[in-house]
Amino acid sequence: MLQQNYAAYTEEDFLVWKTLFERQMINLSNTATSAYLEGINKIGFSAGRIPDFREVNKALGSLTGWSLQAVPGIIPEKEFFELLHQKKFSASTWLRKMSQLDYLEEPDMFHDVFGHVPLLTNPYFCGFFEKLSHIALKHSNNARVIEMLGRIYWFTVEFGLIREKEGLKIYGAGIMSSAGETKFCVSDKPAHLPYNARKVMNTAFFNDRIQDKYFVIDSFEQLYESVGEILLVVEEEVQKAERVYLDIIY
């Protein structure tokens, strides 16, 4: 398995991390879920230091039993879910250049680590993440099921919002690491829909522009408990495929 080579980070890498971190913490101070901000403190992230995976894993291990696994970039779905099944989140170790601060085609370390890791300190969120991986691995050969689970992942883990007593807050990593989407997503411009697993699984998304709709959970407990509904929808899809198969052969 790939290891993080901390000594290889350049002055530009540290400047990129510092610039993005400071900019986003200003944006997120009033828009991020309290669980995320608490996670930042629990892990010990700071502007002046690129996270060392060994230190992050030690902190996560004591909190929720999770860890980071360094990967070269985007990995195959099955490998990704196999790592999640082992309570390992795959993360890139490379950082974008200063010229790429606002747009990047492929997720880098800032997205993977700054965006995702703080919520890996939350037990309910981790439980949801792990159970989602179990379902995906069981149905890895069913393209329709994987597509539906991808929609759940997109509208929760990457672009999810949560309603707290102070108002709408962000918990999706895709928003956390995007300066442009941070303010837009909680404005009155996009649609804010109550989270419903069945509806999410039948809703298409954009992967090349800012979203026009976001699903809002009431709590991370609700997200965790929605796994039952996800399983029900998946089983319905599997049974539907079996009926179609039987109709064809008979």
Residue 218 lies in domain:
6-249
Q: For the domain that residue 42 is a member of, what is the CATH number?
A: 1.10.800.10
Domains contained in the chain, number:
1
Q: How far, CA to CA in Å, does 81 sit from each of 24, 113, 140, 244?
A: 28, 17, 9, 28
pLDDT number for residue 215: 98
Please check whether residue 175 lies inside any domain of the structure: yes
Mean pLDDT by 10 residues, the chain (250 residues): 93 96 93 96 96 97 96 89 94 93 84 96 96 93 92 96 96 91 93 97 87 96 97 90 56
What's the rounded Cα separation, in Å, for the pair 207 and 186?
A: 19
Among 71, 42, 77, smallest CA distance to 56 is for 42
Please check whether residue 147 lies inside any domain of the structure: yes
Please check whether residue 1 lies inside any domain of the structure: no
Please check whether residue 183 lies inside any domain of the structure: yes
Q: Please, where are the H alpha helices in the chain?
A: 11-28, 34-43, 53-63, 77-85, 109, 123-138, 143-153, 173-176, 179-185, 197-201, 220-225, 227-249
226 three-class SS: coil
Please check whether residue 96 lies inside any domain of the structure: yes
Please check whether residue 233 lies inside any domain of the structure: yes
Q: What is the pTM of this model?
A: 0.92
Please check whether residue 46 lies inside any domain of the structure: yes
The DSSP annotation for 109-135 comes to: HIIIIIIIGGGGG-HHHHHHHHHHHHH
Q: How far, CA to CA in Å, does 80 sit from each of 88, 95, 120, 128, 189?
A: 9, 20, 16, 15, 33
33 burial via Cβ count (<10 Å: 0-12, 13-18, 19+): buried
Please check whether residue 20 lies inside any domain of the structure: yes
What is the rounded end-to-end Cα distance, in angstroms, of the chain?
A: 47
User: What is the number of alpha carbons within 13 Å of residue 107 lying toward its C-beta?
Assistant: 22
